[in-house]
Amino acid sequence: MKIPATPEEIAAVMARLRLRLPDEGAPDLPGDADPMPALPSAGMGPGQWVNASGRPATEAGALVYAHGGGFAHTEPRAERLLASHLSRATGRPVFAVDYRLAPAHPYPAALRDVLAVHDSLLAHGVPDIVLFGESAGGTLVLSALLALKTAGKPLPRAVVVSPLTDLTLSGPSLDANDGLDLINRAVLERVARQYLAGAPPDRAPQSPLHGDPSGLPPLLVAAGSREVLLDDAKRFAEAAPDCVLDIYEGMPHAFHLAVLTGPPLPTTTTFLRRLADFTHRRPI
């Protein structure tokens, strides 16, 4: 599905993303977002609950959020704020995973952290789990799905935003969209080198495009038409048997982060509505 945007809105999104500094300018959680645990017991691993649904995870289910940042960076305040938007849109508590970061903790440390959170939710009897990942977090979500399938474990649903799926960096849009996006091949080469630390870039689960997507749960993949990772999203969506691909015209990588500053924009509103519609109509 192609989602249009006016030139003025494209410019507004680009301006917000350029001005957004790590953890600066991100407002505190809104009043309806509860940071208290959404489960009666502990043991979830590193991370934080954000709940704007007003319901416990054992009733509403849960969304596991794997943040972006090239596997190496985190912006806790911004991530908590995005988690509140995700919780409000999907009507379920969100657990934002504070996974271990490269280069100190390269692959597979972050993947194991995401899997551990998923296993904890299952152990706590959470009835309905959604995985959400942006950028490097999208890679981790897809890697987690492949690892869970291989291990024969129960699979969640997954919503993946602008994912990096091919760590060989062979997507044509890496060059075709160079200069149109806010990241480029040089950035991604550094990201892949730090994260893999010698692991092969053409193998799954670390490089999801090189895995077998058969048997995966329904996926919603969102990408911007100007982003260098557009073909990473397209190629994975073409390979996955049950995948909806949304392409937001004129948008850069991780365009949805424009929701963190300023009033709502049509693009971010549409993104959250599509996320809500997908998770609500897709029973496990």
Tell me the β-bridge partners of 245: 221
- Give the phi and the psi of residue 4 in degrees, each rounded to 5: -80, 165
Note the residue count of the chain.
284
- Partnered with residue 192 across adjacent β-strands are none
Please indicate whether residue 9 is annotated as part of the active site: no
Which of the residues 120, 135, 143, 162 is marked catalytic?
135
Instruction: Give yes or no for a contact between 126 and 95, defined as CB atoms under 8 angstroms apart.
Output: no
In angstroms, the CA 3 to CA 199 distance is: 37
Q: Residues 84, 250, 267, 163: what is their CA dihedral angle, to the nearest 10 degrees? A: -30
Which residue in 67, 85, 118, 256 is the catalytic one? 256
In the annotation, is 105 catalytic?
A: no
Residue 168: both structure tokens together: 């060989």
Catalytic site residue from 9, 75, 134, 227 = 227
Judge whether 135 counts as a catalytic residue. Answer: yes
The CA-based dihedral angle spanning residues 73, 84, 220, 248, taken in that order and rounded to the nearest 10 degrees: -80
Residue 136 to residues 52, 67, 259, Cα–Cα distance (Å): 25, 7, 19
Distance CA 17, CA 19 (A): 6
CA distance 25 to 175: 32
**Residues labelled catalytic:** 135, 227, 256
